[in-house]
Structure 1
Amino acid sequence: MDESLAIIRDGLGIEENRDHSADPDQNKLSTMIGPQAAPVQTEINVLPTESMARALFYAPDMDGQADPGEVVWIWAPSDGPGSPPRERAMVVVGRTRNTILGLLISSNPEHRGDDDWIDIGAGGWDTRGRQSWVRLDRILEVSELGIRRQGVVIPRGRFERIANRLRNEFSWA
């Protein structure tokens, strides 16, 4: 069975237990898919938001793909070396052929008043109902295989506030 799974992973381009600690590319972060046994790792590319500028539209649809306006979860590195990864929410703002583009969501109140973050209030992305912010200056690019969907959608008005900032400050259309 392990051999069959290895063939499937290889066909999908997924590598198991890959170590990125020696990767000189600082824009790539290691992440883990799924909270259970035998973690599969993928990469998160962290890029300046303006470098991925494109047309932006609100189109959540609970079909098989993550769409702009949906909130998805990724396994992201924690705060320090040796710390385990933790699951983080991001709002989807676009996609490429094989990847999803998203903006990180945080409930850390230190982001209040920071120009690189926008207040989105509370929502289903935070189980404790805390005030949240979205980081605007960095876009996360991750394989669709590297996300967890939970059926959470950011309300249209809040998405449009994010979209307006991306259009006005980061050359999105």
Structure 2
Amino acid sequence: MTYDPHPDGAPDPGEIVWTRVPYEDDPSRGKDRPVLLIARTGDDLVGLMMTSKDHDRDIEQEARDGRFWFDVGSGPWDGAGRPSEVRLNRLITVHPVDVRREGAVLDRSRFDAVISALGEHLP
């Protein structure tokens, strides 16, 4: 996993992009949401879905249900400036052609903190 954002209009690790994320229980359906890109794999990218829902209040239930989250704070990827979390134990394959728009670059220190936390929860 490499931090490698470039302001060139193409999605890169370290950037937050908006793309369709399939639902776990029905992959034929999904939701457009922000995704933190963390790596490249061939022509595709690997990302972690993001949410503005605060899971700290129900952290024990989330863990029982097999969902683990990490706070990344707020940034320009959320127009309302809400704090966000990334889900650590669900890797998303992102095809560059499916990226609707780039949201922002996550700063290096927060990216490194996510990668460090990710090691404990990889599927």
TM-score (norm 1): 0.57
Aligned pairs, number: 112
CA-to-aligned-CA distance 1:120-160 (integer Å, 9 cap, x gap) = 11111111111110000000002111112335101111111
CA-to-aligned-CA distance 1:92-138 (integer Å, 9 cap, x gap) = 001111211100010011x1263610001111111111111000000
RMSD: 2.5
Which segments of 5 or more consecutive residues in structure 2 lack a partner in the other structure? none
Are residues 1:131 and 2:83 paired? yes
8 Å Cα contact 2:9-2:102 kept in structure 1: no
Are residues 1:119 and 2:64 paired? no
Report % sequence identity. Answer: 37
Which entry has the higher C-alpha Rg, 1 or 2? Answer: 1
1:108 counterpart (31, 49, 53) = 53
Which structure's relative contact order is higher, taking Cα pairs within 8 Å and 6+ residues apart? 2
Letter in 2 for 1:89: P
Question: 1:21-170, aligned counterparts within 5 Å?
Answer: 56-76=1-21, 86-109=31-54, 111-112=55-56, 114=59, 116-150=68-102, 152-167=104-119, 169-170=120-121
TM-score (norm 2): 0.77
